[in-house]
Amino acid sequence: MERAAVVAGLGGWVPPTIVTNDQLAGVLDTSDEWIRRRTGIRERRWVSPGQSTGDLAVEAGRRALSSAGLEDVDAVVLATSSPDRHCPATAPEVATRLGLGPVPAFDVAAVCTGFVYALATGAGMVALGAARSVLVIGADAFSTLLAPDDRSTRVIFGDGGGAVVLRTGSPTEPGALTGLNLGSDGSLSDLIEVPAGGSRQRSTGLPAKTEDTYFTMQGQAVYAQAVRRMAESVKETARRTGWDPAEIDRFVLHQANARILEAVARRLGLPPERFLSNIEVRGNTVAASIPLALADGVASGELRPGHKVVLAGFGGGLTWGSMALVWPRLAPPATASAEPAVASAGADPGPP
């Protein structure tokens, strides 16, 4: 019988420190009004000193395992572009901290498309019979890559982790992943980058310029590409799944910018209400954004069992990708969501 990878658990986690637009406006030449109007973001969470992507991944992974009712999986795939260290990958340490034993564990780097790429990798392992279950995590602490004085990037990104557990199942059951569409265009790799720190800069033997160690993005060019590529990828996934886009109940897109979600909806001629959004309180959490949006959607009741869902990511590389599934009924605490944004409103936000 044909095998499929089926979503069996879901979890998300964000760190407690809230950074509001007003806090950013206190130290940068920006305003709450500009940030809300241009991005839809009101606040985001950032890691505190010493906290890392691995910490976010462990918390999200633990919640997904608990949601799946599993203590073991056969592999861990971690999507991140802000690993704890350049070398080695972060996933093996995450697997060990989760008590998963000597399972294969590795990172996948595709920036904001990372989760879809990691999901495709995990699903492929299941489909091959190489693993019966895989923990797929998307986690990023992108705040650590942002230049302290760069208003154009600092207002956009939030930190967080999200994860799903995949198990072996049948292609016809709810939760089965299908319709995979992935793509990339390396000719536009300069649009989203951290210029220094890699082999190209280090092989020069020259010290990195400080400004080159931070993340940069050519916002408008990225915006246009994000809208076009996600709309095309969603259409292709719908075609491969045999769904008319009009019958898809929920679109869970990378949460880059509220205006991008609206523009994709317009391009597809579909009601914007079908596009889940948590960007107001999460910001752009890079590889965590899709699983966090799933967790928040389940928690709010906007994503329900039986919904026809398409996930779509877009990010640096450039990279993009989509997958489809019928949302499954997950056993409690399957609704394990990201901590509600209000949960730690009392926490000391610290300096932005």
The stretch near ligand ACO (CB under 6 A) out of 35-43, 97-105, 125-133, 265-273 is 35-43
Min dist CB 188 to ligand ACO, Å, is: 11
Set 21, 181, 278, 284: catalytic member: 284
State yes or no: is 86 an active-site residue.
Answer: no
Q: CA neighbours within 13 Å on the CB side: how many for 148?
A: 4
C-alpha to C-alpha distance for 207 and 204, rounded to whole angstroms = 8
* Token reading at 310: 């398409």
Written as six digits, the tokens of 88 are 């080695």
User: Pattern of binders to ligand ACO over 129-158, x per CB under 6 A?
Assistant: ----------------------xx--xx--
Which residues inside 181-220 make contact with ligand ACO, applying CB under 6 A? 192, 217, 219-220
**Phi and psi dihedrals of 322, rounded to 5?**
-145, 155
According to CB under 6 A, which one of 123, 226, 230, 258 is a site residue for ligand ACO? 226
Give the residue, chosen from 6, 112, 131, 264, that forms a contact with ligand ACO under the rule CB under 6 A. Answer: 112
Q: Is the preceding peptide bond at 333 cis, omega within 30 degrees of 0?
A: yes
> Minimal CA–CA distance to 237: which of 268, 277, 266?
268
Rg, Å, the chain Cα set: 19
N-term to C-term CA, the chain:
54
For the CB of residue 274, give the shortest distance to ligand ACO in the complex, in Å.
Answer: 20
Q: Kindly tell me which of 8 and 35 has the beta carbon lying closer to ligand ACO.
A: 35
E-strand ranges in the chain read 4-13, 18-20, 43-45, 75-79, 105-108, 133-140, 160-169, 178-184, 192-193, 216-217, 250-253, 308-315, 319-326
Q: Is 243 in the site for ligand ACO (CB under 6 A)?
A: no
Cβ atoms of residues 116 and 313 within 8 Å: yes
Minimum CB–partner distance for residue 207 and ligand ACO (Å) = 25
Is 254 marked active-site? yes
Q: How many CB atoms lie within 10 A of CB 51?
A: 17
Q: Which listed residue (20, 132, 223, 333) binds ligand ACO by CB under 6 A?
A: 223
Question: Min. distance of Cβ 9 from ligand ACO in angstroms?
Answer: 26
Cβ neighbours around 65 below 10 Å, total:
24
Residue among 197 and 219 whose Cβ is closer to ligand ACO: 219
User: Phi-psi bin for 182: left (phi > 0), alpha (psi -120 to 50), beta?
Assistant: beta
Question: How many other C-beta atoms lie within 10 A of the C-beta of residue 255?
Answer: 30
Per annotation, catalytic residue among 21, 112, 181, 257: 112
Residue placing its CB nearer to ligand ACO in the complex, 15 or 313: 313
Supply the minimum distance, in Å, between the C-beta of residue 344 and ligand ACO: 25
Cβ closest to ligand ACO, residue 30 vs residue 184: 30
Nearer Cβ to ligand ACO, position 73 or 227?
Answer: 227
Point out the residues that are catalytic: 112, 254, 284
State the residues that interact with ligand ACO by CB under 6 A: 30, 34-35, 38-39, 111-112, 151-152, 155-156, 192, 217, 219-220, 222-223, 226, 256-257, 260, 286, 314-316
